[in-house]
Amino acid sequence: MIAYIVRRLLSTVPVMFIVAVCVFLLLHLAPGDPAAIMAGDNATPQNIAQIRQKLGLDEPLWRQFGTWMFSLASGDLGESMFWRTSVTTLIGQRAEPTISLAITTIIFAVVIAITLGVVAAWKAGTGIDRFVMGFAVMGFSVPVFVVGYLLIYCFAIWLRWLPVQGYTPIEEGLGPWLRNLVLPTITLGLVYVALIARITRATMLDVLAEDYMRTARAKGVATAPMLLKHALKNAAVPIVTVIGIGVALLIGGVVITETVFNIPGIGRLVVDAIQRRDYPIIQGVIMVFSGIYVLVNLLVDLSYTFFDPRIRY
Amino acid sequence: MATTLEPIAVGAKQSPLFKFVRRNPTIVLGTSLLVFMTLVAIAAPYIAGDPLFQAPVNRLRAPDAQNWFGTDHLGRDVFARTVHGTRISLIVGITVATISVSIGLVIGLVAGYFRRVDGIVMRFMDGLMAIPGILLAIALVALTGASLFTVVVAIVIPEIPRVVRLVRSVVLMAREQPYVDAAISGGSRSVKIIRRHILPNTFAPLIVQATFICASAILVEASLSFLGAGIPPQTPTWGNMIAQSRLNLQRAPWTIFFPGAGLAMVVLAVNLLGDGLRDRLDPRIARRM
């Protein structure tokens, strides 16, 4: 098992290498001159040349690629044009709010979605089932920022139950931290709930049709243990897979949610970088988020043995 | 989907149209909504006023008989802007779906049929899949400057790997069919085998995939505009409208509500159509999802 984990960890290296190649090629072969865009509208040719030199854009492509790969391998994501600090430091400073939001969202979404999916499959064909599936289609269709503003309008402006926006660090107390995270969590989690609820319902329907489920019912297992122990555990592998794939949705959503709720996290860092044309930040954050995606999906793969001991490595 | 449990038609004397509506409520609902939105997009200049006309005296007016959806912070008519916003969303959705399906189809056919290139192509697709789509699109738009063209390209690139994977899996299955072996031993050229025997298998799943790409493209375009990395801000798109009105949420919620409702309606229509088509075209998956 440990040998397998090590092997899988090593196998992420080539994937990340290809991610780096893709990011490099796409951003360097794209038309447009990043130096000119960064310099702004009233820059002199000297300014542009200076920036180009500073970013190493005047060097041949293969050497730029080599330099970039070398610094990536040593954990260096370059230096921000605006802040004049290393991108790794900036990401570190902004990590807490984003990690908090990610954790609350995943917990919220997984708990709600699996409950909805299990109930929908159990009551398949009834009004509850239709409601859950209708809710899932809505969740896929309403954009994250529209959900966010609707929630702010309802619960913060109109009912005044929760703060409109902002973030309180966790050191200042669990209560204030959580109060600020409630609306962003629901906003970001909605698509994720829709995605997971759908796959949960689908796999549960398959499992509920199995012979051993009929046996369980016949020998008189109570409903809750039957659904959870017998059915849900057997349906877990596809569900966990989708939870992993869905992290991509979360990453896109984090950027938007942090903008809507004015949360000073990594997503805000990127959005501010767009306005300032701070190109190394955008590139660095893409690499970090891609790495997180790859790692989460590795964890998902490893979790299969836990849910289904027949899968051995 | 709820529609998978359709009741068996009881009455014997039902018109074919009625039967179709009854059996495929999501397809019919989605299509009708889409046709309606398309008509709105085409007729925009005739049913709504100038979306760019500013009347600072009338700023942030609540909806009334003159401005059905109210006015924004520059006194622009929200109804005119919402109606015109339909255009960009539909254009982006349809172009992105068409282009990414076409490119993905070619790459997928090649990767699935010619095994030698498969490894390299698929590793690249895996890498591209790991990059968060919205972030990649943001970077591309920020780098090349905002325009409709850049936005479309930036949304197409992250969608391609999904199509390639789908097409490749279909090709791999089709290759094993006896009729393909027969064609190979009959001496047909590869191009002909792909075109005559393999390509048709990809159509049904691709149509379904295209609708979902269309829905996601509309959402991503709106998100890019919202984040300030999309279509230039003077163009009335739903994302731009919401981005420019965010500070007026408390005073003038209608400036955000109407473009938001437009977005939700279009994406919902496309998703309903996609779900319905999937139920019809791929009964194997239909039972599950």
pLDDT, tens digit (0-9, with 9 covering 90-100), for A200-210: 999 999 888 88
Cα gap A187→A249, rounded to integer Å: 12
Cβ(A122)–Cβ(A213) under 8 Å? no
Residue numbers in B near A293 (CB within 8 A): 130, 132
The answer to whether the Cβ–Cβ distance between B227 and A271 falls below 8 Å is: yes
Q: Which helix (H) or strand (E) holds A123?
A: none
pLDDT at B2: 46
Interface check A146 vs B, CB under 8 A? yes
Cα gap B170→A79, rounded to integer Å: 45
pLDDT at B284: 57
DSSP H helical ranges for chain A: 2-29, 34-39, 45-55, 61-73, 87-93, 95-122, 127-141, 144-151, 174-208, 211-218, 223-225, 233-234, 236-245, 247-260, 266-275, 279-307
Interface check A238 vs B, CB under 8 A? no
For A79, the 3-state DSSP assignment is strand
Interface check B286 vs A, CB under 8 A? no
- The single residue listed with the structure tokens 């590793």 is B123
Vertex A152 angle, CA A146 and A158, to 5°: 125
User: Of the candidates B131, B249, B289, which has its C-beta nearest A202's C-beta?
Assistant: B289
The answer to whether the Cβ–Cβ distance between B140 and A27 falls below 8 Å is: yes
Q: How close is the nearest chain B Cα to the Cα of A187, in Å?
A: 14
Vertex B205 angle, CA B204 and B209, to 5°: 125
End-to-end CA distance of chain A: 6
Choosing among B6, B138, B247, which should be mutated to test the A contact, i.e. which has the most A CBs within 10 A? B138
Using CA atoms, how far residue B288 sits from A119, A202, B23, in Å, is 15, 5, 18
Q: Can you give the pTM of this predicted structure?
A: 0.88
Cα gap A254→A181, rounded to integer Å: 12
Cα gap B114→A206, rounded to integer Å: 36
Residue numbers in A near B128 (CB within 8 A): 22
Q: Which residues contact B143 (CB under 8 A, 6 or more apart)?
A: A27, A30, A32, A34, A37, A279
Cα gap A226→A229, rounded to integer Å: 6
Interface check B120 vs A, CB under 8 A? no
β-strand partners of A79:
A86
Residue B189 CB burial class (10 angstroms; 0-12, 13-18, ≥19): exposed
pLDDT at B5: 53
User: Of the candidates B135, B144, B250, which has its C-beta nearest A31's C-beta?
Assistant: B144
Cα gap A165→A154, rounded to integer Å: 13
Tens place of pLDDT per residue across chain B (289 aa): 444 555 555 555 678 888 878 878 888 899 999 999 999 888 878 877 777 777 777 777 778 777 778 777 777 888 888 888 899 999 999 999 999 999 999 999 999 888 888 888 888 898 888 888 888 888 888 878 788 898 999 999 999 999 999 999 999 888 888 998 898 888 888 888 888 888 988 888 899 999 999 999 999 999 999 988 888 888 888 988 888 888 887 888 888 898 999 999 999 999 999 988 888 886 555 444 3
Cβ(A138)–Cβ(B268) under 8 Å? yes
Cα B145–chain centre separation: 23
pLDDT at A289: 92
The answer to whether the Cβ–Cβ distance between B267 and A279 falls below 8 Å is: no
Q: What's the sign of the alpha-carbon dihedral B6, B9, B14, B20?
A: positive
How many Cβ pairs within 8 Å bridge chains A and B? 159
Cβ(B178)–Cβ(B65) under 8 Å? no
